[in-house]
Each structure stands twice: as C-alpha cells, then as structure tokens.
C-alpha cells in the first residue's frame, strides 16, 4: 500500500482509538465512595469525552509533525519528503494523543473533586 494512502488510514484509526483515552481512569478515593459517585463518574467521563478541542490539538500536532518530517526527509540525501511526512505525522499524532489522554484524565479527576469526592489520584 502506498504511504500516501496509508497515512490517512492510520490517522483515522488513531483518532478513533483516542476518543476514550484518559476517560477510563479508575480514581482512588480517600475513604468510601458517596452514593452518587458512580453517576458523577459517568458524567465526568462524558464531559472529558466531549472535549473536541483535544482532538483538534492532536490533529494539529500531526500536521506539524508531517511538516517537520517532510522537510527532514527532503534535506536527507537518501530520504524522501513523503516518507518523512508520513512518519512525522504519525509521531506527531502519537504525541498529541498522549497529551489528549492526560488532559482527559485530569478533566475526570478534577470534575470529581469539584463534585465533592475525595480523589487522591
């Protein structure tokens, strides 16, 4: 399969997989959970999933990675710009996905704290 076709397929799969990353955190509580903990946890997870700006940021990281990879591939005598762009896009998307996952996890934990739960992680 040509790299030009492989990159969008990989990016689509990565974005789909990242939509829930970070929202499956199992918080550690200081003490017993209150009665509404599970409903609050579901609501906080939904809030974290709904932050579409994180997906846009991840795409921006992929585009920046593609640009850097393309330039580096063009500069290298044995490299090629397209191959560098594909590798750069995947690397940028991976970094963006990791950051989005961390942010979504923090949203869930802070949301629970805001609702009065004694979350320690």
- Closest alpha carbon to 80 in 68, 71, 93, 88: 71
Stretch 72-97: mean pLDDT, rounded?
72
Torsion sign, CA atoms 60, 65, 104, 109: negative
Q: Could you tell me what percent of the chain has a pLDDT over 90?
A: 31
Residue 94 tokens read as: 């991976």
Whole-angstrom distance, CA of residue 4 vs CA of residue 56: 21
Q: In the chain, where are the structural domains located? A: 51-121
Stretch 65-87: mean pLDDT, rounded?
72
Q: Which residues contact 10 (CB under 8 A, 6 or more apart)?
A: 90, 93
Stretch 71-86: mean pLDDT, rounded?
70
């Amino acid at each position: 399969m040509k790299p030009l076709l492989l990159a969008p397929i990989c990016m689509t799969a990565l974005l789909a997989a990242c939509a829930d990353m970070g929202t499956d955190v199992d918080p550690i509580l200081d003490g017993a959970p209150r009665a509404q903990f599970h409903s609050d946890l579901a609501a906080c997870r939904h809030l974290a999933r709904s932050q579409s700006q994180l997906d846009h940021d991840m795409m921006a990281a992929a585009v920046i990675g593609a640009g850097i990879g393309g330039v580096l591939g063009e500069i290298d005598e044995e490299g090629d710009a397209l191959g560098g762009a594909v590798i750069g896009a995947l690397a940028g998307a991976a970094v963006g996905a990791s950051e989005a996952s961390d942010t979504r996890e923090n949203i869930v934990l802070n949301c629970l704290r805001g609702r009065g739960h004694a979350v320690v992680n």
